[in-house]
């Protein structure tokens, strides 16, 4: 596995591979990898492309009261994992390499930034779209792999690629869960044992709501009420949001007559967890 923290070196590596006729696949991450990230690598490997995995904790997507400095980091552990998983190149730039001077150019994402996670984290998705745009220009991938646990992020990147005519195919990868249903997240390490047990209510409530929809439940308010009541009754979690939205563009829906995404964010202590489920009808 090739490894670099320098944009110039990475571009040389990629130019050599493109010269050999290889496609390039990008797996962007913030590190502290788990099985969810490894599933992205597995999907990328199936394409036969040259796989570049990036590790960069992007300060632009953290608010002033969020956990940028606390976000878990272990570069050497991550490097071992990705090499064992078959990644071809690891790119782990410093903040100074990615942002050598204060940024004045950003990628705005319009109304998609004002709902769900964006409503409670102003500027978050502008930071995400900006750093992903930078990575796309640095790596020039043919394919890019994103987990659907961050469903809003996935749709925003997909829309950015379409709006800006970027020559990259965005490939979604399904949520990876623990045996009890909890969605894998680098932030799970911050949960106490009691909070970890309670957090399972997120997937349980989503599964129950899905069954209600499949049985004919069509009211989004009814589904949202069920989710809120289950989470509040069976945990100490503090709800940021619980919403049912159109699965294609996150627009508001009243009656469930086409695919929807049930999305939620809940705080257990100081740890904010997100989860979602797409329901076909």
Q: Cα angle at 217 between 254 and 154, to 5 degrees?
A: 60
Q: Give CA–CA dist 33/75, Å, rounded.
A: 9
CB atoms within 10 A of CB 164: 11
Q: Give CA–CA dist 97/5, Å, rounded.
A: 8
Ordered DSSP codes for 180-208: TSPBP-GGGGGS-HHHHHHTTHHHHHHHH
Nearest to 142 by CA among 47, 6, 54, 16: 47
- Considering the candidates 37, 92, 124, 137, report the single residue annotated as catalytic: 37
- Tell me how far the alpha carbon of residue 62 is from its chain's centroid: 14
Q: Give CA–CA dist 236/250, Å, rounded.
A: 28
Helix (H, G, I), strand (E, B) or coil at 207: helix
CB atoms within 10 A of CB 168: 18
37 is catalytic: yes
Beta bridge partners of 266: 239, 273
Could you list the active site residues?
A: 37
């Amino acid at each position: 596995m090739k490894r670099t923290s320098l944009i110039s070196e990475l571009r040389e590596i990629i130019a050599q591979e493109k010269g050999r006729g290889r496609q390039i696949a990008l797996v962007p991450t913030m590190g502290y990898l788990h099985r969810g990230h490894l599933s992205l690598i597995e999907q990328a490997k199936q394409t036969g492309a040259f796989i570049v995995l990036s590790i960069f904790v992007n300060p632009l997507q953290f608010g002033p009261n969020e956990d940028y400095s606390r976000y878990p980091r272990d570069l050497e552990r991550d490097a071992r994992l990705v090499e064992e998983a078959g990644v071809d190149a690891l790119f782990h730039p410093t903040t100074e390499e990615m942002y050598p001077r204060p940024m004045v150019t950003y990628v705005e994402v319009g109304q998609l930034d004002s709902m769900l996670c964006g409503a409670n984290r102003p500027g978050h998705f502008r930071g995400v779209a900006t750093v992903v745009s930078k990575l796309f220009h640095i790596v020039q991938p043919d394919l890019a792999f994103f987990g659907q646990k961050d469903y809003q992020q996935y749709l925003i990147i997909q829309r950015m690629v379409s709006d800006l005519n970027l020559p990259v195919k965005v490939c979604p990868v399904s949520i990876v869960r623990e045996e009890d249903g909890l969605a894998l997240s680098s932030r799970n390490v911050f949960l106490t044992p009691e909070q970890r047990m309670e957090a399972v209510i997120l997937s349980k409530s989503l599964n129950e709501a899905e069954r209600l929809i499949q049985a004919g439940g069509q009211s989004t308010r009814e589904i949202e009420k069920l989710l809120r009541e289950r989470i509040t009754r069976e945990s100490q979690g503090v709800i940021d949001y619980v919403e049912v939205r159109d699965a294609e563009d996150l627009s508001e829906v009243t009656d469930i007559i086409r695919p929807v995404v049930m999305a939620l964010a809940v705080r257990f202590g100081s740890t904010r967890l997100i989860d979602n489920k797409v329901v076909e009808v």
